[in-house]
Structure 1
């Protein structure tokens, strides 16, 4: 009797999943359903579809766990379960799954765990521990997030500087800009702010052109104007930029023309060559 009951439940489960018309909107789901009970990739892809696209988190949990049973070494599966449980605010389960990923050497799981401790549990010492673990596992974003935690939340600026510099050395684009902001606003260290704005500009950060121009404006209006003009095309048209310089900054035409020529000689990745 028990055997028949279990078989009936299995058939009901298969029917329910196979008849979910929500899946019909997405490519490959029919194929995945056909072998999801024996293929970890198919089960995982169904989990992702329910999780990211359909937003049915219970179905996502079902298929992620099915995938894990078929492949308990798959760190993508483990990390996705940690993320899913975090979203569902089941932090105990999220921590359990993320730690499985960390034990398997997965940087994404360590990063997810650090985020959970920082953003959801406000446990900053533990967040720091796992950001550093993620960094040791090669996760560049963890380096930047740790710098941000030291900078904006803990106000531990020497530590923030250390980790921004680590992030910059690994190629994280926003780290130089944020370090410039830290030097400018919190430490009032203008030479270092200029240095790091320039490093951000070298990485193509258009915000750094604005930041550096504002920093230089009071002491060197021509150079500041040159950086503003160099940014034409990065969010602002020539017309908008010149209107800003003439009306807001009160820059005269002679200085604007001089600044245009100067920006062509600046050591920056991109210049504006459209004329004034």
Structure 2
């Protein structure tokens, strides 16, 4: 039985092999197969399954070792597992085959930055940016900014992030990184401006709301700070670290709001304490009585005695008149009903903040532009942390709705950005 089974098994296997060998793949089939494996590898790479990505990308590389896309993808995959020498090899092969592929220069720059070769990394980022056909320049600029920060070149770091946002106004990480940098530098108005710009671009992100909440907190706008912190808290999700930070800031803001209210109450109590009491007339009359005490004159002559006598008479008459006035005041207080005191509440006036600048010249420039269009702007100075800032405002309005309508109808069509704020007058 064994002699019969073995030959059958070998025959079947041989037929399978010979069947495969007799049908070689054409060039088109090879390209199709390499692209097929490349797409599978790329999907695994994007989902974070690096092992499977490397497996399928290598299968694509075996079929077509000169495809720059496959080489670039393998470089990314090996960079993710920190096999930098192999990754660099694939990136350089890709550049050699296709020197105009800007993405490969950016990816190689990221690899070099991770190795700590910052100068070389900057060089490759700049090479990528030189390509006029590069559609994702914001990626090179953002990575360049991170490298400049590691090098300690903060002006270049800030400049690169601003360029990143200019090339792609929806690049969320650039807003977050730049805004948080401004907060660390205590440039709270700059932080407010960059986070507001992100929100105006339609970006919804807990880190952006959190950043704007922090900016408002340090600017002393505690109610607005709490509003954006609460918005961040609602959409945080599973980010526990961010949730702890947001809750911590909400607690700080609540404390400041309570302190402000206590100060307002104390201020109102002080104002009430300086109101003249109702029986002040009696006090004034009693004071007048004390001032009318008789002057003691030595009894040396009859002339002096007569003067004393006349003074006593005058004192007695004055006293009777004063007592009569006191009685009149008492009767008036009994007969006249007391009217409740009116508490004067501060009026709230709304205005539109069109711009905030650290230089007066910039504020004047915006103000002149508004005046040419027929508006009546004001420039208000405010000192924050020892630095002067210039606020360009238009107002005042009786309600938030009135101010908001004015902005939408008159300022927004002219391309101005603004925010409705209020002040107690």
Interval of TM-score (by shorter of Structure 1 and Structure 2): 0.5 to 0.7
* 1:169 matched residue in structure 2: 166
Following superposition, the deviation at residue 83 of structure 1 comes to: 2.5
Describe the shift of the 1:211–1:59 C-alpha distance in structure 2 as closer, same or farther (beyond 3 A): closer
Unaligned stretches of 5+ residues in structure 2: 1-13, 238-245, 262-347, 349-398, 409-416, 418-425
Question: How far apart, CA to CA, are the structure 2 residues paired with 1:54 and 1:144?
Answer: 24
Among 103, 107, 112, the alignment partner of 1:108 is 103
* 2:51 matched residue in structure 1: 55
Matched, 1:215 2:215: yes
> What SS does the aligned partner of 2:162 have?
helix
Describe the shift of the 1:229–1:161 C-alpha distance in structure 2 as closer, same or farther (beyond 3 A): same
* 1:95 matched residue in structure 2: 88
Q: Retained in 2: the 8 A contact 1:101–1:110? A: no
* 1:20 matched residue in structure 2: none
Following superposition, the deviation at residue 245 of structure 1 comes to: 4.9
Question: How far apart, CA to CA, are the structure 1 residues paired with 2:207 and 2:145?
Answer: 19
The structure that is strand-richer by fraction is: 2
CA RMSD of aligned residues (A): 4.2
Question: How far apart, CA to CA, are the structure 2 residues paired with 1:89 and 1:233?
Answer: 37
Q: Retained in 2: the 8 A contact 1:47–1:60? A: yes
* 2:126 matched residue in structure 1: 132
**Count of residue pairs the alignment pairs up:** 225
| Structure ranking higher on relative contact order (CA contacts 8 Å, 6+ apart) | 1
Question: Whose Rg is larger?
Answer: 2
Following superposition, the deviation at residue 89 of structure 1 comes to: 5.3
Unaligned stretches of 5+ residues in structure 1: 1-7, 16-33, 269-276
Describe the shift of the 1:43–1:181 C-alpha distance in structure 2 as closer, same or farther (beyond 3 A): same
Question: How far apart, CA to CA, are the structure 2 residues paired with 1:43 and 1:49?
Answer: 10
* 1:191 matched residue in structure 2: 189
The structure that is helix-richer by fraction is: 1
| Structure 1 length-normalised TM | 0.64
Describe the shift of the 1:46–1:180 C-alpha distance in structure 2 as closer, same or farther (beyond 3 A): same
Q: Retained in 1: the 8 A contact 2:189–2:215? A: no
Matched, 1:40 2:31: yes
> What SS does the aligned partner of 1:166 have?
helix
